[in-house]
Amino acid sequence: MEAERMAPEPGERGAARRTESGVPIEPVYGPGARAGWDPAERLGEPGSYPYTRGVYPSMYTGRPWTMRQYAGFGTAVESNARYRQLIEHGTTGLSVAFDLPTQMGHDSDAPIASGEVGKVGVAIDSIDDMRILFDGIPLDQVSTSMTINAPAALLLLLYQLVAEEQGVPAASLTGTVQNDVLKEYIARGTYIFPPKPSLRLIADIFQYCRTEIPRWNTISISGYHMAEAGATPAQEIAFTLADGIEYVRTAVAAGMDVDDFAPRLSFFFVARTTILEEVAKFRAARRIWARVMREEFGARNPKSLMLRFHTQTAGVQLTAQQPEVNLVRVAVQGLAAVLGGTQSLHTNSFDEAMALPTDTSARLALRTQQVLAYETDVTATVDPFAGSYAVERMTDDLEEVTLALMARVEELGGAVEAIERGFQKGEIERSAYAVAREQDSGERVVVGVNRYRLAEEDPYEPLRVDPAIEAQQAARLATLRAERDRGEVDAALAGLRRAAEGTSNVLHPMKRALKARATVGEVCDALREVWGAYVPTETF
């Protein structure tokens, strides 16, 4: 009798749930599309416009996604050792985390860097550190993603210089620089320069890579950090695609043909535990971007229409309480990314809510991807959710909400104008506040936090960064400044300032300065002198 009673009676399903984006979830979905929407036109075939079903015809049936593991901490020596371990364990792509001073364009011995050197990523002050970071790693055989934004040009050029020292031509290099500064003004805060010169620098990177590093992905337009700040799935893709439109407009205004750079654009999204909505989110994002690129920008190359993206599992959903439960969360999130058609994936380590991941937890995170790729059947067929009544309807619903948000950004004058008015930031903050209230009230269940708690947590020994790293980096900088040709550095920095004052591409003089062993802080300071530093305007 008890088993029979487990099935709900008609009308007993309780209050209707909503997606993270606020759209009601129907208990049962059936066939049928929105009035005026042609399902065949909106779905297409995998690898064909509008790419709802994936950007490649074979997807994972030919080979799995690129398995990246985001890593970097302490000194270049320590991070290099971690990269070698990851490659040995089967990682097919590196993803570099930089510390906050590097992200903000400051040297490790700058007063503002005190207490932050090597803490959330690796400290890179000059070409000397970059050589060590990639020592023994063949840069013509590995794809490298670098999570760096305001000083992206510097780190890309340092990577190119080290590759050339290895004898690897720049034309052979593959990888990505995040290079998405607009989202820094919205959600993350590691900006340096005001928006207009920042966009000019991004356009210069596009132009430079077209001729110098043609296989490099010049930008990874990121919704991940907005999601970590509290954005809903609809806000995540709406504001990310709006930023993407702003970058394309900037490049076109600089005289570039859209098909000369658009094939190298990529995106970066989060994967949450809500599998169905996440799959719908990725499908909707591909469809919207394909239409924008074809209809607004007149792109003709099919690769210009493809929204290719990297995914990282949701760090914001990891908990310090019962951290082993995060292994389950990460597996579910990784599955959502794969079912959604990601091109590369980073799975978080279970202990990241408490500290930097240990070797063991980083290996487990990679093994999670390998289980998905080789022990499940999700790679056996293209687009496993094709024809799902629920997912197709959720995709349509999510697209409608997303387009409304994008229209609002356009009404405000585009992404930059909306940022300066605080629109995106305000919308995200309201969503984050609503989630926090739901968690506090228990309406939103977080296992181990507001339900199924333990009276006493198990002990855990986190990985700790040696505080002596700061002094070590300062000593290395003192040695570098004593050894290098100061006159050569000053002349190169003067050339960089002249380029920044004019309209020529700043990456060429920047490369000369970095090759002369100018530091990251010195190069950024030269640009600060010309362009200034961004000071945010508070909005209420």
Average pLDDT along the chain: 93
Q: Is residue 504 part of a domain?
A: yes
CATH at residue 214: 3.20.20.240
Residue found by looking up tokens 């030919």 in the block: 62
Share of the chain above pLDDT 90, in %: 84
Least Cα distance to 348 among 337, 340, 339 occurs for: 337
Domain with 499, as residue range(s), is 469-531
Q: What is the pLDDT of residue 356?
A: 79
Per-residue pLDDT band for 84 (boundaries 50, 70, 90) equals very high
Do residues 431 and 495 both lie within one domain? no
- The model's pTM is 0.90
The 3-state DSSP class for residue 32 equals coil
Do residues 126 and 247 both lie within one domain? yes
Choose one of 399, 422, 441: the last residue of a domain.
441
Do residues 481 and 410 both lie within one domain? no
Cβ(496)–Cβ(526) under 8 Å?
yes
426-443 pLDDT, tens digit per residue, is: 999 999 999 999 999 999
Contacts of 292 (CB under 8 A, 6+ apart): 241, 245
What is the arithmetic mean of pLDDT over 65-70?
Answer: 88
Q: What is the pLDDT of residue 91?
A: 83
Per-residue pLDDT band for 14 (boundaries 50, 70, 90) equals very low
Do residues 199 and 90 both lie within one domain? yes
Do residues 405 and 497 both lie within one domain? no
Choose one of 441, 457, 489: the last residue of a domain.
441
- The overall longest dimension of the chain from CA atoms, in Å, is 88
Query: CA–CA separation, 510 vs 526, rounded Å?
Result: 10
Do residues 488 and 410 both lie within one domain? no
Do residues 290 and 392 both lie within one domain? yes
* Phi, psi dihedrals of residue 125, rounded to the nearest 5°: -105, -25
Cβ(514)–Cβ(157) under 8 Å?
yes
Q: Could you tell me where the beta strands, DSSP code E, fall in 81-214?
A: 93-97, 143-147, 175-177
Do residues 350 and 478 both lie within one domain? no
Q: Is residue 14 part of a domain?
A: no
Q: Is residue 8 part of a domain?
A: no
Choose one of 441, 457, 486: the last residue of a domain.
441
Q: Is the pLDDT of residue 272 over 50?
A: yes
Q: Is the pLDDT of residue 5 over 50?
A: no
Contacts of 141 (CB under 8 A, 6+ apart): none
Which residue has better confidence, 420 or 69? Answer: 420
363-404 pLDDT, tens digit per residue, is: 999 999 999 999 999 999 999 999 899 999 999 999 999 999
184-208 pLDDT, tens digit per residue, is: 999 989 999 999 999 999 999 999 9
Q: What angle do CA 369, 307, 314 make, to 5 degrees?
A: 40
Q: Is residue 539 part of a domain?
A: no
Q: Is residue 423 part of a domain?
A: yes
Do residues 365 and 421 both lie within one domain? yes
Q: Is the pLDDT of residue 3 over 60?
A: no
Q: Is the pLDDT of residue 15 over 70?
A: no
Do residues 363 and 487 both lie within one domain? no
Q: What is the pLDDT of residue 137?
A: 94
Task: Read off the tokens for 97.
Answer: 């985390």
Output the CA torsion 72→68→135→472 (10° steps): 0
For the chain, the domain total comes to 2
463-500 pLDDT, tens digit per residue, is: 677 888 999 999 999 999 999 999 999 999 999 999 99
Give 29: exposed, middle or buried? Use CB within 10 Å, 0-12, 13-18, 19+: middle
What is the arithmetic mean of pLDDT over 304-324?
Answer: 96
Q: What angle do CA 43, 288, 271 make, to 5 degrees?
A: 90
Q: What is the pLDDT of residue 33?
A: 64
Do residues 488 and 416 both lie within one domain? no
Q: Is residue 296 part of a domain?
A: yes
Task: Read off the tokens for 384.
Answer: 């496993």
Q: Is residue 142 part of a domain?
A: yes
Cβ(134)–Cβ(122) under 8 Å?
no
Cβ(415)–Cβ(245) under 8 Å?
yes
Q: Is residue 368 part of a domain?
A: yes
Cβ(424)–Cβ(186) under 8 Å?
yes
Do residues 513 and 429 both lie within one domain? no
